[in-house]
Chains A and B, each alone.
Chain A
Amino acid sequence: MKSSRTEFLKTFGGFAILTKQVAVEMMRPPLYPRLVIDQMYQVGLQSLPLVFVTAGATGMVMALQFGLGLEKFGGKLYIPKIVSLSIVREMAPVFCSLMLAARVGAGITSEIGSMTVTQQIDAIRALGTSPIKKIVIPRVLACVIAIPLLTTAANFVGILGGLLVGKNDLGLDPVFYVQKVLQTVTIADFLSGFAKTPVFAFVIAINACYFGLTAKGGTQGVGNATTKSVVTSSITILVGDYFLSKFFWIFEQWL
């Protein structure tokens, strides 16, 4: 019990220290824009198919389930409204972040973890350069830039998924669907989902880098680190989502 508590405190302290180092080193030259762009490609473009499938499937399932449920009460016409709002406010940001915590987080941790156990991270330091600058900052920036963009794309794809099911299975007019969506979703709705994503992105990247840099003991250590990274990011996203939703909810009331 005591050891798991110290483990938790150590990990949490590790995140804090890494975050501080990232903040400090971001202020000092040299920065490596090329590395950020490389990572944006890895994190962003390469994740597009996954994000599209996730968002599309979510939108389709929601339209179908709500359609079946609401049809009995003649509430089919509310489907565009319900689907678009839940996609934009909640489903797209959270589901995409969870999927990316798995895909991107695991990728980053296993890559950095392998570098750590084969002394490549030590070599970066020994050659007079900083692993924070060379490895961590490009990944953090790439995630914080790419994941919100991916989520925005996911919003469209999710709503489109709902439209497909609405038209084919529920007999809704696509033009009506689009009009309803446009009437319903406000900038505030969009922002309340969108604004969560840089936070989730940061959590994914810092977690993934931390567990990679602290990997020990060969290939098995890298595997363990990867598991921890994905689990920690996913839980933080799910729990953090509640608090962020609450925060934005209060904020919207106040506006």
Chain B
Amino acid sequence: MAIIDVRHFAKSFSGKAIHKDVTFTVEEGECVGLVGGSGIGKSVVLRSLIGLEKSDSGEIWIDGQEISKLSERDLVEVRKKVAYVFQNGALFDSMSVYDNLAYPLREHTPLKEAQIRERIREQLDEFGLIEAIDKLPAQLSGGMQKRVGLARAMMIGPKVILYDEPTAGLDPYNTIKIQELVLRLKKKGVTSVFVTHDMPTALNVCDRFCLLANGRVMDEATVEEVKLNKGGKIEQFIAGEVGG
């Protein structure tokens, strides 16, 4: 069974239907790119996958559990398995990078502070951020903030990662850095959903694409099909022939 299974998801905001019938699945270990025009509701779908947004109707199955009707308290277990990488990192700006990374460990693991320090050093090393350990988020560049956000999301070893435009507004160096990190996590078997407008990156990291339009998944295509120009609507979207 697919690790993410969204069935007939619908959502409207103050009477305006954003999603009418969104249905798609993501298999374990797969990276699915969710593409579509600006304001089409990609972030809303992604947020709903960990219950940050409540659906109006439909079902959302995560790792065999229907989560769309769970309470905030029951969602905690889901959120330990599914990490969310926010567009601008969403780091806690009153805390140092160290404390930001320690946050999930202190909350969800019985680790001692010495072990936490160990884990954080390893993680920052891997992410090439070790020199930022004692800095405040405001002292970091946007690209570094995004990478720290990704590092924080990874601290307790989630099975699924949801990326909301992880490369938007980044220079080529940071874009490649993020790309490498995503690929490395993918190699470890982490499942991901990748929302982006950055098609070159998406073509490098995603296995499959879903095109959101008119409140539903309009089309799906594998990365091979897209590369071989057989991507149908997705192909047209990437070529800039259809807007959102």
Contacts and interface: CB of A to CB of B under 8 A. Distances in A.
Interface of A: 114-115, 118-120, 122-123, 125-130
B72 A119 contact: no
Contacts, number: 51
Contacts of B73: 130
B50 A126 contact: yes
Nearest to A24: B73
B175 interface: no
A130 B108 CA distance: 13
Interface stretch (B87-95, B195-203, B217-225): B87-95
Given A119-B86, A119-B87, A126 B79 contact: yes
B74 to A, nearest CB: 11
Contacts of B50: 126
A159 to B, nearest CB: 38
B79 A127 contact: yes
Contacts of A123: 84, 86, 90-92
B93 A122 contact: no
A127 B103 contact: yes
A127 B153 CA distance: 8
A118 B90 contact: yes
A100 B107 CA distance: 32
B87 A128 contact: no
B104 interface: yes
Between A120, A122, A123, A129, the greatest number of chain B beta carbons within 10 A of the residue's beta carbon is seen for A123
Contacts of A115: 92
Contacts of B83: 126
Contacts of B87: 119
Contacts of A114: 93
B76 interface: yes
Chain A to chain B: the 8 pairs with minimum beta-carbon distance, closest first: A119-B90, A123-B90, A128-B79, A126-B84, A128-B76, A119-B86, A127-B104, A128-B80
Interface in B91-105: 91-93, 103-104
Contact of A128 (B91, B92, B93, B108): B108
A123 B150 CA distance: 12
A118 B91 CA distance: 9
A125 B93 contact: no
B52 interface: yes
B224 to A, nearest CB: 33
Nearest to B76: A128
B60 to A, nearest CB: 15
B79 A119 contact: no
20 contacts: A115-B92, A118-B93, A119-B87, A119-B88, A119-B90, A120-B90, A122-B52, A122-B86, A123-B86, A125-B52, A125-B79, A126-B52, A126-B79, A126-B83, A127-B103, A128-B80, A128-B104, A129-B103, A129-B107, A130-B73
Nearest to A127: B104
Contacts of A119: 86-88, 90
Nearest to B72: A130
Contacts of A122: 47, 52, 84, 86, 90
Interface in B153-183: none
A114 B52 CA distance: 18
A120 B93 contact: yes
Interface string B89-130: 011110000000001100110000000000000000000000
B161 to A, nearest CB: 11
Contacts of A128: 75-77, 79-80, 104, 107-108
Interface string B30-63: 0000000000000000010010100000000000
Contacts of A127: 79, 103-104, 107, 152
A184 to B, nearest CB: 46
Nearest to A119: B90
Contacts of A118: 88, 90, 93
A128 B73 CA distance: 9
Contacts of B88: 118-119
A130 B76 CA distance: 9
A123 B89 CA distance: 9
Given A115-B92, A127-B152, A128-B76, 19 more contacts: A118-B93, A119-B86, A119-B88, A120-B90, A122-B47, A122-B52, A122-B84, A123-B92, A125-B72, A125-B75, A126-B52, A126-B86, A127-B103, A127-B104, A127-B107, A128-B75, A128-B79, A128-B107, A129-B76
